[in-house]
Structure 1
Amino acid sequence: MKRVLHISKYYYPFIGGIEQVARDAVHALQGAVEQKVLCFDHDKNETVNIVDDVEVIRCKCQCKLFSQSISLEMASKFKNLLNTFKPDYIIFHYPNPFFARILLQYIPKETKLILYWHLDIFRQKILGKFFHFQNIALLKRANKIVATSPNYIEGSKYLSRFKSKCVVIPNCIDEKRLEKTPKAIELAEKIKAENKGKTICLSVGRLVPYKGYEYLIKSAQELDDNYVFFIIGDGELKTKLERQSKKYPYIKFLGKQTDDELKAYYIAADIFCFTSITKNEAFGIALAEAMYFGLPAITYTIPGSGVNYVSLNGETGVEVANKDVEAYKNAIKELATNKDKCKVFRSNAYSRILEKFLFNEFKKNLQSMMEV
């Protein structure tokens, strides 16, 4: 049986987009290969070292530099795994530039490297320039490069140079977590009743700059109380955004929600507002989840992002020019009034998720690429 070492920045029970994909990859290969996971320790008190029957080796983090974890024991633990576990494959989830240096230094020539490229480093421009040549070396060393959408391959200054190595494996949603429970259905009916006669607009995501919530709020402010906007999530911009919305009671910040509560809002909503504005949003899991519930989506155009690959303009929703508040408002009004178009988008959105973004398709794609 082949042996696979997964390397992620953090791992479950830490909750994050890349970490979820790393766990999905482990699930997809379970039973077909022998696996271990190497990661930084996100919590000094973390004791979970067996996750889904797979050993997780966590390395203590001494500090962070440019939001990147630094661990003095990572190199020694990696070398030990190379000597004892002897992986046939390493699946390395990038960005994780500080570990990339260790990987390039010690990976054996015979070990195949699957480079899971989630996104370029471009928010921290100084850091990106500093690691430019290392990135090129990493891409040259990789046997295969996984991208989550064809859009990202074309839009990345790195992946576009190594197209022949790239394989598209879209992220997947968790069908089991999204199953409609009686509690979620009951709560959804309550939400609908409380907002009878209104168009329910839903947005889900962290309240951080690249999510573009300030533009959603500006669009909402040009509408009236025939609409209600529910924003689920938390983050650094919460206070600022709440202040921006203070005079508009139909814009409601709900914070974090339980799974049943989240599903209830997905069920009750009429429109999904996804307002990310930069390539920091490489894919959009929340967008795919909303489409799974048959919600028509309104997105901004983000060159090189997978967002506009997940939801297709004119098929599953409406795409408007980036940061165009007026166009976004008009798209909301259009979907609220054109019920026939909305119905088509709902059906197409659900069908697209079933076809492209479920776990079984993800599993098939990953196993096929690795020939296991």
Structure 2
Amino acid sequence: MKRILHIAKYYYPFRGGTEQIAQDCVSSLTEYEQKVFCFNHEAGSLKDEVEGIDIIRCECFAKISSQSLSVSYGIKLKKQIKTFKPDIVIFHYPNPFAAHYLLKYISDETKLIIYWHLDIVKQTILRKMFWIQNMRLIKRANKIIATSPNYIHGSYWMNKASEKCVVIPNCINEKRLEATAESKQIEVKIREENKSKVICLAVGRHTKYKGFAYLIQASKYLDDRFRIFIAGEGELTEELKREAVGDNKIKFLGLISDNELRAYLSAMDIFCFPSITKNEAFGLALAEGMYYGKPAVTFTVKGSGINYVSLNGRTGIEVPNCDVKAYADAMKELANDKELRDEYGRNGRNRVIENFLDEQFVENIRKEVHKL
């Protein structure tokens, strides 16, 4: 039986887009012997199991520009590579601290798959510092996975190794989105509390690239028919709340349960996805909104997968990046035309079912791993 070592920044029960995909990879490759090597999102080092898979979690003493640092990481990774002897390593990028040790200790016989989630965009100094490392990574890689063709074309690094790149779109978990008795009760309450209103929903971590500030600015061009619910939290939550002061159309939901998420996804009329940079490589939340048969409003983000997931004029409306007036106009257009909302919603749901469900993901990841 072949052995696969997965290297991710964090792993379940830590919640994040990259971590969810790392878990999806593990769940898809059950015919292999597998281990996961990552940082511990809590204090200290830990070895535990998730769904029967050994998880080795290294302590993290600090973070710099979102990069976790660990004193023992290199020693422990070296030990795992030496004792586990993986036939294949699946490395979730970006994670430059981990990449340093991976390149140092990976054997020549081991196949390397780089799961390229996104380019380092925001941290200009880090991007320059790790130029040589990235060149070594793509040269060493046997295969590079991108989440959309848009990202391959828009990434300097993947363009350097386009012959090694394959597209495996992210997937949504249908079971997680199935309505429950509790979610239906919450949905009824949401509809009752917002009768005659256009219910809009945005979901995500409150960080700069998610663009929630632009959604709040767009709200200033909207009339009181609209109710904009923003779910999630993050480092910008308090700043966003201050910017929205006096705008009664905007409601912050905080972190919500899966039942609450299902309820809002079902109750909404328009899904707002205002991300503004390539840091949003795909948009899993966008696909979830479309799965519920609702139209999306997005910005044009060159090189991102956003405009690959939702297609302008077919599953939603796409407007020039950071143009808050155009964003508001798109929301108004959808609010004023139920037939258009329904058409885009149907198209969006069909696009997700045909391209972005976990069944397709499992098939795609298995196919690419089996080739090695």
* Pairwise TM-score range, normalised by the shorter structure: over 0.9
Work out the CA distance in 2 between the residues paired with 1:82 and 1:222.
56
Report the secondary structure of 2:312's partner residue. coil
Q: Partner amino acid for 2:5?
A: L
Alpha-carbon distance, 1:64 to partner: 2.5
Alignment-derived partner of residue 58 in structure 1: 57
Alignment-derived partner of residue 270 in structure 1: 269
Report the secondary structure of 1:177's partner residue. helix
Alpha-carbon distance, 1:283 to partner: 0.9
Alpha-carbon distance, 1:153 to partner: 0.3
The question of 1:207 aligning with 2:183 is answered no
The question of 1:145 aligning with 2:144 is answered yes
Cα deviation digits, residues 188-221 of structure 1 (max 9, x gap): 1111121111111111111111111111111111
Alignment-derived partner of residue 230 in structure 2: 231
Q: Partner amino acid for 2:9?
A: K
Alignment-derived partner of residue 332 in structure 1: 331
Alignment-derived partner of residue 10 in structure 1: 10
Alpha-carbon distance, 1:259 to partner: 0.8
Alignment-derived partner of residue 345 in structure 2: 346
Alpha-carbon distance, 1:62 to partner: 2.7
Work out the CA distance in 2 between the residues paired with 1:84 and 1:235.
39
- What stretches of structure 1 of length at least 5 have no aligned partner? none
Report the secondary structure of 1:222's partner residue. coil
Work out the CA distance in 1 between the residues paired with 2:239 and 2:42.
28
Report the secondary structure of 1:64's partner residue. strand
Work out the CA distance in 2 between the residues paired with 1:208 and 1:63.
20
Structure 1 pair 146/171, CA: closer, same or farther in 2 (3 Å)? Answer: same
Q: Partner amino acid for 1:315?
A: R
Report the secondary structure of 1:158's partner residue. helix
Alpha-carbon distance, 1:319 to partner: 0.4
Work out the CA distance in 2 between the residues paired with 1:234 and 1:48.
29
Alpha-carbon distance, 1:48 to partner: 6.5
Report the secondary structure of 1:261's partner residue. helix
Name the TM-score, length of structure 1 as normaliser: 0.97
Alpha-carbon distance, 1:135 to partner: 0.2
Cα deviation digits, residues 247-303 of structure 1 (max 9, x gap): 111211111111111110000000001100011111111111111111100000000
Q: Partner amino acid for 2:145?
A: V
The question of 1:243 aligning with 2:242 is answered yes
Report the secondary structure of 1:176's partner residue. helix
The question of 1:180 aligning with 2:193 is answered no
Alignment-derived partner of residue 279 in structure 1: 278
Alpha-carbon distance, 1:237 to partner: 1.7
Work out the CA distance in 1 between the residues paired with 2:326 and 2:317.
10
Q: Partner amino acid for 2:190?
A: I
C-alpha contact 2:46 2:57 (8 A) present in aligned 1: no
Q: Partner amino acid for 1:14?
A: F
CA-based RMSD: 1.2
Alignment-derived partner of residue 162 in structure 1: 161
Work out the CA distance in 1 between the residues paired with 2:180 and 2:301.
35
Structure 1 moving runs of 4+ over 6 Å: none
Q: Partner amino acid for 1:250?
A: K
Alignment-derived partner of residue 309 in structure 2: 310
Bigger drift between 67-76 and 166-175 goes to 67-76
Report the secondary structure of 1:230's partner residue. strand
Q: Partner amino acid for 1:62?
A: F
Q: Partner amino acid for 1:95?
A: P
Cα deviation digits, residues 107-128 of structure 1 (max 9, x gap): 1111000011111112111011
Q: Partner amino acid for 2:2?
A: K
Work out the CA distance in 1 between the residues paired with 2:146 and 2:192.
42
Report the secondary structure of 2:54's partner residue. strand
Q: Partner amino acid for 1:108?
A: S
Q: Partner amino acid for 1:43?
A: E
Bigger drift between 170-179 and 127-136 goes to 170-179
Structure 1 pair 46/87, CA: closer, same or farther in 2 (3 Å)? Answer: closer
Work out the CA distance in 1 between the residues paired with 2:193 and 2:44.
43
Work out the CA distance in 1 between the residues paired with 2:326 and 2:345.
21
Alpha-carbon distance, 1:53 to partner: 0.7
Structure 1 pair 273/343, CA: closer, same or farther in 2 (3 Å)? Answer: same
Q: Partner amino acid for 2:151?
A: Y
Structure 1 pair 189/312, CA: closer, same or farther in 2 (3 Å)? Answer: same
The question of 1:99 aligning with 2:116 is answered no
- What stretches of structure 2 of length at least 5 have no aligned partner? none
Alignment-derived partner of residue 41 in structure 1: 40
Work out the CA distance in 1 between the residues paired with 2:205 and 2:61.
26
Report the secondary structure of 2:365's partner residue. helix
Alpha-carbon distance, 1:78 to partner: 1.7
Q: Partner amino acid for 2:203?
A: V
Q: Partner amino acid for 1:60?
A: E
Alpha-carbon distance, 1:63 to partner: 2.5
The question of 1:255 aligning with 2:254 is answered yes
Task: Give the paired residue count.
Answer: 371
Bigger drift between 99-108 and 72-81 goes to 72-81
Q: Partner amino acid for 1:189?
A: V
Alpha-carbon distance, 1:343 to partner: 1.1
Work out the CA distance in 1 between the residues paired with 2:324 and 2:157.
32
C-alpha contact 2:7 2:91 (8 A) present in aligned 1: yes
Work out the CA distance in 2 between the residues paired with 1:83 and 1:279.
36
